[in-house]
A and B are shown apart, each in its own frame.
Chain A
Amino acid sequence: MGALRIDCTINGRKVSFLAGADQTLLEALREQLKLKGTKCGCGIGECGACTVILDGLAVCSCQVFVAQIDGCAILTIEGLGQHDELDPLQESFVEHRAVQCGFCTSGMLMSAKALLMSRKRPTREEIRQAISGNLCRCSDYNNIVLAIEDIDSE
């Protein structure tokens, strides 16, 4: 199988790597690029644990072929805060204790980030809609919604 050369921007840095034609973005992130903060949950686009932001939109990285991201900009959980400083969204999740087992958290944060990139002050309904594709089996949705609501994006 011929490897494809992929040139893209991940978390603000230009990246080039070789990928297989059948590889998903999720597989490339975790295996080749060692960005393991993006989780593999269901693998069929239903749980949202693998959510990343692709050209400004939240997508399930298990549902995108890595060959499709050539020339695109991707933001993963690793690019959300700085090395020694959390993103305000992450701070808010900590403050509101919006994390239990933590498996859904990176996906939840990326869906919330995508929403806040397009809406500075989303309503509670918009927040619920934005994370409706992210499942939390600890069922801590209320604290997650409160954490996102509490963000001042100004």
Chain B
Amino acid sequence: MIRSFLRPVTIYDACQQMRDHGENAVLVAGATHVVNELHRGLINPSVLVDIYRLNGLDVICMEGEELMLGSLVTISELIASSVVRQFVPALCQAAQSVGGKQRRNRGTLGGSIVHADPGDEILSVLSAFDCCVVLKDIEGERVLDLREFISGIRQTTIRNDEILTEVRIRLPERGSRMSFRKVSRRNASSSSVMNLTCLLLLKDNRIVCARLALGSVLTKAHRMSDAEVLLAQKKPSRTLFEKAGSLVLNQALQEAESEGLGIVDSVGSYKFSLMPHFVAQVLTETWERKE
């Protein structure tokens, strides 16, 4: 039963309160995840520590070749940001596909990351980039690569007395084309059956660099390195993209097996039969996008 609802005014106070109450405390920001987890009995805290109104965690800015995003930036703010739209348009596309308008108005970037849902649209895009998260506690901060941060399905390496304050995205080379697509049952308020973030850098009609991050299939969004290697230094074509789709399928099947995921159930087999065509389609779309 929740006995206290604390409203710290600084990050330090919030970290201190989290440390004081230990495992009995849960951090709340937009609350869209926490309310549902409470209702489903997945968490049972006695203290909620609300950081939604902490100052300074809603900043969006460029610093050198990195895009810095505060953890309290809402999904709607990501969509509205001209900086995000200019430098990481795939993040805008992904943000537009999250929930309904109401959830986007309230849900935060930090909430998406710490809940580490394998189908999370924002995490799929971040996984395609070199991306770090900044975690603060009362003693200082540590910076972790996103790949080290997410350890499994809805699992991260954050400690209970740490707060995710910032995300740093290293921008790809200028001229990269990128897109995000998801397959879902409805256009809105529907989680991903499967999603893909695709990034292509072309020079003289050759692919110099390709990145593919597949979400909602494995325990977390996963880079599809076999297909990335195939695509590098090749001339883009429909045939090449279909081959890449087949490689993504093969890699996803192998990864699923090594992660111990059942793939013979109806949802699993549906995803896997859809995958090659979906990947080829997103690659084509990305190729046809303007730089």
Contacts and interface: CB of A to CB of B under 8 A. Distances in A.
Interface of A: 1-2, 4, 20-22, 24, 43-46, 48, 51, 57-60, 62-65, 67-68, 70, 111, 114, 129-135
A57 B30 CA distance: 13
Contacts of A67: 5, 7, 48, 50
Contacts of B35: 24, 44-45, 62-65
Contacts of A129: 101
A90 to B, nearest CB: 20
Binding site secondary structure of chain B: mixed
A60 B102 contact: yes
B157 interface: no
Interface string B81-103: 00000000000000000011111
Contact of A51 (B5, B50, B102): B102
A65 to B, nearest CB: 6
A22 B31 CA distance: 11
Given A45-B36, A45-B102, A63-B30, 11 more contacts: A1-B1, A4-B5, A44-B36, A45-B100, A46-B99, A48-B100, A57-B76, A58-B101, A63-B106, A111-B102, A133-B188
A129 B102 CA distance: 11
Given A43-B39, A129-B101, A135-B189, A64 B106 contact: yes
A67 B4 CA distance: 10
A67 B7 CA distance: 9
- Shortest 3 CB-CB contacts between residues of A and residues of B: A133-B100, A132-B188, A21-B5
B32 interface: yes
A131 B50 CA distance: 28
B5 A133 contact: no
B189 A133 contact: yes
